[in-house]
Amino acid sequence: MKERHTMSISESDRLELHLKLRNMMGDDMADILMEHLPPSGWGDVARKSDIDFLATLMATKFEAAESRFEYLEAGLRGVQHAMWALASLMSACFIATFTILATQL
């Protein structure tokens, strides 16, 4: 048997295993056993705890992003109010200037 230094399994390794299992247990049992193996090795299989951890991490990140958007939204509301105040001030200045010019004619 080949000496292994890594956990990666090639398709030829899987085929060799399948053939040996067929010789030992018969075709049907070997097929059933092979169907229960993950296609790329157990290292690529996610555990429930992995998924739960990622779900928690994503929820935390989304909460942080939502908080940042709320902060930006509040800042934009402040800018909007400042723009309205500036527009009102400019309108008052325009009316005052127009009034002064109109009375001078």
Rounded mean pLDDT of 43-72? 92
Same domain, 63 and 34: no
Reported confidence tier of residue 5, pLDDT bands at 50, 70, 90: very low
Same domain, 19 and 60: no
Q: What would the pLDDT profile of 21-43 be if each residue is shown by its tens digit?
A: 999 999 999 999 998 887 776 77
| pLDDT value for 29 | 93
Short-list 96, 92, 90, 91, CA closest to 104: 96
| pLDDT value for 10 | 81
Same domain, 62 and 37: no
> CA quadruple 43, 48, 49, 53: dihedral positive or negative?
positive
Number of structural domains, the chain? 2
Same domain, 15 and 64: no
Same domain, 36 and 61: no
Same domain, 54 and 12: no
| pLDDT value for 3 | 54
Is the pLDDT assigned to residue 48 strictly greater than 60?
Answer: yes
Same domain, 60 and 35: no
Query: What range does the domain containing 12 cover?
Result: 1-45
